[in-house]
Amino acid sequence: MTDAPVTVEAALLDAITVPDGTGKAIPDAASGETIGDAPIHTVDDLETAIAAATEAQRGWAALGHAERSRLLHLAADEIEAHAEELAHIIAREQGKPLNGAGARFEAGGCAAWIRNAADTVIEPEVLFEAEDTRSELHYAPLGVVAAIGPWNWPALIGVWQIAPSLRMGNAVVVKPSSFTPLSVLALVELMNRHLPVGVLAVVAGNRDVGARIASHPGVAKVMFTGSTDTGREIVRSSADNLARLTLELGGNDPGIVLPGADVAALAERLFWGIFINTGQTCAALKRLYVHDSVYDDVVDALAALANSVPMGPGTDEASLLGPLSTPQQFAIVSGLVDDARARGARIVTGGQPAPELGAQFYRTTIVADIDDGAALVTEEQFGPVIPVIRYADVDDAVARANASEQGLGASVWGDVDTARSVAARIESGTVWINQHGTLNPTVPFGGVKASGYGLEFGAHGLKAVAAPKVITV
């Protein structure tokens, strides 16, 4: 009998999985083979975790910023030391390739964002000073923060919620997506090798666990990244306990390519602004408005890249695009493309599954000659498909970009001075010029309209997970 091959991530998987048949079998997104069994936690497990977090939070807050930051740096060092193992778990479970802006990028980003949160200084702000009176604004811990994460960037978005909350003296209870619990379990396992017991816990449960979190009286704040519909449910559930909320919800990000844009110089940045993580990114470019004068050039350039960028399993070193993460998302993407085709849109390239690669692979797809009313334009596709929409007047393009109920990100492409004036008119939390979706741990990020509210990253993100307190002497 031949022993099974040892995978890169075997040791870390052993630390976070339960015996076969006793948990939820988590499939490899590319092959469908079981990676390991994740524990199935219950509402009772959630209650235990919140009680332990409440108790541990007092001592954690009392350590002070300097000591908490020191321990967070040790946690970041631990992640960095095991980054390859974590990256392989992410690549298999979520499907993103190891290379490019993929699983290794995500694992490395976890360490970088933790360090940034640990090192960002929040000084008391003097609000008023005259004669013998001085008023200062300080920031105190909230208590227990609940972090509910998505399946598309499970570890990195988890860190975006966890790191600032811990830095400001809170304890954190994490609820990962049921599709990608292993990545988050691995992240928390590594961090907890250096944190006090109870300060950071993960509850890998189902919908009943998620539903209980927002209404729980022991939760002071909920951070949620996911769909707009679920965000609305969280708002309703939090009404009775008045938990503070940071909601990063869906985004149907528009891009506007201006007349005279240098297509050859911008094409690759456009492509990756659209197709990072095979399009499964909240702040990826989802609908592209292109001026008549450069329309054909943009379509041709994107199609050439779509046909040349390799797609395959996440653990294949040659892959730069991977599968759809879930069967549900594969069905959504397929349905939107089929609807566009039925409406008479031109499928320039792609437009069909790639079954030779695996059941959840869909070919990189460029759709041209499509109107705003098509579902592919009005709905967030979250996959390797981009509708390219022709326009003749910039004012009209801005109006069409703003017509969505969502406003997470947007971008303008072309002459920088002209792009600045156009960017000022777009209704979005972030507008990039000649790039899309680039994030910086020091620069605040958040949406408007139905894309949620609250800010993450940098000093603004730290303040969002703390209670403002005015001290007047």
Domains of the chain: 10-249+451-472 (3.40.605.10), 253-440 (3.40.309.10)
Q: Above 70 in pLDDT, residue 455?
A: yes
Active-site pick, 9, 106, 110, 282: 282
Q: Above 50 in pLDDT, residue 4?
A: no
307 phi, psi to nearest 5 deg: -85, -10
Task: Clarify whether 110 is annotated catalytic.
Answer: no
pLDDT in tens, 379-416: 999 999 999 999 999 999 999 999 999 999 999 999 99
**Average model confidence (pLDDT) for the chain?**
96
Distance CA 151, CA 280 (A): 9
* Stretch 317-344: mean pLDDT: 98
| pLDDT given at position 465 | 98
Q: Above 70 in pLDDT, residue 203?
A: yes
Q: Above 90 in pLDDT, residue 5?
A: no
Distance CA 395, CA 161 (A): 37
Distance CA 127, CA 473 (A): 12
pLDDT in tens, 148-166: 999 999 999 999 999 999 9
* Stretch 267-291: mean pLDDT: 98
- 3-state secondary structure at position 144: strand
329: closest CA among 365, 361, 303?
361
Distance CA 173, CA 65 (A): 20
Classify residue 198 as left (phi > 0), alpha (psi -120 to 50) or beta: left
- 3-state secondary structure at position 123: coil
pTM of the full structure: 0.96
Structure confidence at residue 8 as a pLDDT band (50, 70, 90): confident
Distance CA 311, CA 100 (A): 12
Active-site pick, 78, 248, 380, 456: 248
| pLDDT given at position 289 | 98
| pLDDT given at position 301 | 98
Report the percentage of the chain scoring pLDDT > 90.
96
| pLDDT given at position 3 | 44
Task: Clarify whether 282 is annotated catalytic.
Answer: yes
Write out the two tokens for 340: 């566009």
Of the chain, the end-to-end C-alpha distance in Å amounts to 77
pLDDT in tens, 362-388: 999 999 999 999 999 999 999 999 999
| pLDDT given at position 156 | 98
* Stretch 418-443: mean pLDDT: 98
- 3-state secondary structure at position 214: helix
Length of the chain counted residue by residue? 473
Structure confidence at residue 9 as a pLDDT band (50, 70, 90): confident
| pLDDT given at position 7 | 79
| pLDDT given at position 6 | 59
Question: Around Cβ 437, how many Cβ atoms within 10 Å?
Answer: 23
Residue 254 near residue 287 (C-beta atoms within 8 A): yes
* Stretch 126-145: mean pLDDT: 97
| pLDDT given at position 1 | 31
